[in-house]
Every structure is written in structure tokens, then in C-alpha cells.
Amino acid sequence: MANNDIKAIMVVGAGQMGAGIAQVSAVAGYKVTLNDISAEAARRGYDGIAANLARSVAKERCTAEEREAALSRIAQSVTLDDAKDCDLVIEAATENVALKREIFKTLDKAAPDHAIFATNTSSVPITELAACTTRPSKVIGMHFMNPVPVMKLVEIIRGLETCEEVREVIADVTTRLGKIPVEVKDSPGFVSNRILLPMLNEAVYCLYEGIGDPEAIDTVMKLGMNHPMGPLALADLIGLDTCLSIMEVLYDGFKDSKYRPCPLLRQYVQAGRLGVKSGRGFYAYERA
């Protein structure tokens, strides 16, 4: 399969990441199916894309006609059976291994034989997900960065069985999306989160141990290390439940105590303080 054989893309998961992937795919000219478990969730993802593109028009990054053309290429879906007409499926569901495994098993039955399966997982081994299908050579990782429309990097991760042709196609698709593909090994957390999440976790430990309050910790990293956003604010943006899931994958994968999730992080997640999406994490936010 060549890059020009990819015409239709399904994105599974219409949350912040999935909607972002659907947006850049539609803008790039692909026919997109935005899938979620409910019509309300799919519609919310679509409405978020429409609002983002409206802001792009206001900032003269695209025209009103380009916005309407991109939106016209997005269909909403509540069943994975809609993968039957897709050439590429990008899974962007919640960072839950069992859930992703079930999605891949269902997609394997629904999608055509030629379809490539990609996962936006931030930490789950690609080889493990590929093993849930009858097409492990066509399963690959496409780890986008948040926010997807802005961030240029996509980590490309081959599983043990992923074939070279699929890697080439996905690298080409990534470039067409306006992103820069970087190939990394199939290891827990890959490169980005193996480095980033322990830093965020250590910032939570600083708060947990009373070394500084959230503002102090974030200001030190912004002014002292020239980071554009402090680690606690960034963790809130990512979602504290997602941060915890990634830390648990790292801890389980390496069995090294340096990846042990901070108890305070776990406590916040148990309390429902998930960050921006819940209205409260290390900081308080107004719900949309």
C-alpha cells in the first residue's frame, strides 16, 4: 500500500486528542470518520473542531471556505463497524490497556483486510496491541502531541511484526498532516513520556512533600528552565488520570522504583480531580 492509497481515516475516540487528529486529517484532505461510544461524545468532538477552525479563520490561518471544506469531510460515528470503508484507523481512546485491546479486536473484524491500524497510545506497547489482531504487520504507533493542531512531532513506533511498507506509508501520511515523524523503539513510554512523565511525577512529589506550592514549582521550571508551561499545569492539561496511567505502565514495564507514581497523584485521580477536563486538578478551571 502506498500513501496515495490512504483516502479514508477513522479516528476512534473524539476527546481532545482524537478530535485534534480528526481535525488535522480533514484539513489535509482525508475523508474522516470521527467515532466515539455515544452520539453526544462524537458531536462534542465535532463541535470542538468547528470552533477551533473558526478561530483559525478569525486569525487568518485559513479561509472560511477551507474551514467548511474540512468540516464537510468529517462524519460522526458511534459504531466501529464504520471502519469497513476506511484505509487507516487511528485509535485515540482512553489510556486503558484492556479497552484498547477490545477496540483492536473489534476493528480487526470490521475493517477491510488492507486497512492499517495505528494507535495514539502514549505508553502501551504496540506489539501487545498488534497481537490482538490477525494483521500484526499492519499495526503501528502514531503518538501525537497535545494540542494536536499545534504540535509538530509524531512518534512513529513499530511493533515487533510491523512491516517496513506500513512504516513508510504512515511516515508519509504524517508528513501530509503537516507533522514531523520520528521513529522510536517500542518500549514503555517510548521517548517522549519516558522522559516527560517522571519529571511531572517528581513535580507532584515536590508538592506532596511540601517543598513548594503549585505556583512556586511551576514558576521555578518556567523561569529557571525556560519551560513554556510549568509541570503541574501541564499535568492538568494532559489529564491526571492519563498521567497516572502512563506512570503505571512505566512502573509495570521497568519494575524500577523511579517510575513509582506519587501517592498524591493517585489520590487526586481517586477524588476526581483530573485537571482541566474535570475543572480541578492542581489548579481550578472553569468548565466549558
DSSP readout, 217-232? HHHIIIIIH--SS-HH
Q: Please give the pLDDT value at position 286.
A: 84
Q: Has 286 been annotated as catalytic?
A: no
Q: Has 193 been annotated as catalytic?
A: yes
Name the active-site residue from 56, 193, 201, 278: 193
Q: Has 143 been annotated as catalytic?
A: yes
Q: Please give the pLDDT value at position 25.
A: 98
Specify if 248 maps to a domain. yes
Side-chain-facing half-sphere of 65: CA atoms under 13 Å: 0
Condensed to tens digits (0 to 9), the pLDDT of residues 48-83 reads 999 999 999 999 999 999 999 999 999 999 999 999
Q: Please give the pLDDT value at position 257.
A: 95
180-184 and 153-158: which strand pairing? parallel
Task: Please tell me whether residues 161 and 30 are part of one structural domain.
Answer: yes
Residue type for position 21:
I
Name the active-site residue from 35, 155, 245, 278: 155
Q: Has 155 been annotated as catalytic?
A: yes
Task: Please tell me whether residues 173 and 246 are part of one structural domain.
Answer: no
Element (H, E) at 82: none
Q: Can you tell me the mean pLDDT for 182-198?
A: 95
Domain of 26? 3-184
Residue type for position 112:
P
Condensed to tens digits (0 to 9), the pLDDT of residues 208-224 reads 999 999 999 999 999 99
Q: Is the pLDDT of residue 288 over 90?
A: no
Q: Please give the pLDDT value at position 250.
A: 93
3-state secondary structure of 95: coil
Q: Please give the pLDDT value at position 95.
A: 86
Condensed to tens digits (0 to 9), the pLDDT of residues 150-170 reads 999 999 999 999 999 999 999
Q: Which residues, in sequence order, are bridge partners of residue 8?
A: 31
Name the active-site residue from 35, 56, 122, 123: 122
Q: Residue 267's domain is classified under what CATH number?
A: 1.10.1040.10
Task: Please tell me whether residues 70 and 123 are part of one structural domain.
Answer: yes
Contact 118, 162 (CB under 8 A): no
Q: Please give the pLDDT value at position 104.
A: 98
Domain count of the chain? 2
Q: Can you tell me the mean pLDDT for 99-105?
A: 97
Q: Decide which of 184, 203, 225 is a domain's last residue.
A: 184
In the DSSP assignment, the letter for residue 138 is: G
| CA dist., res. 104 & res. 58, Å (int) | 39
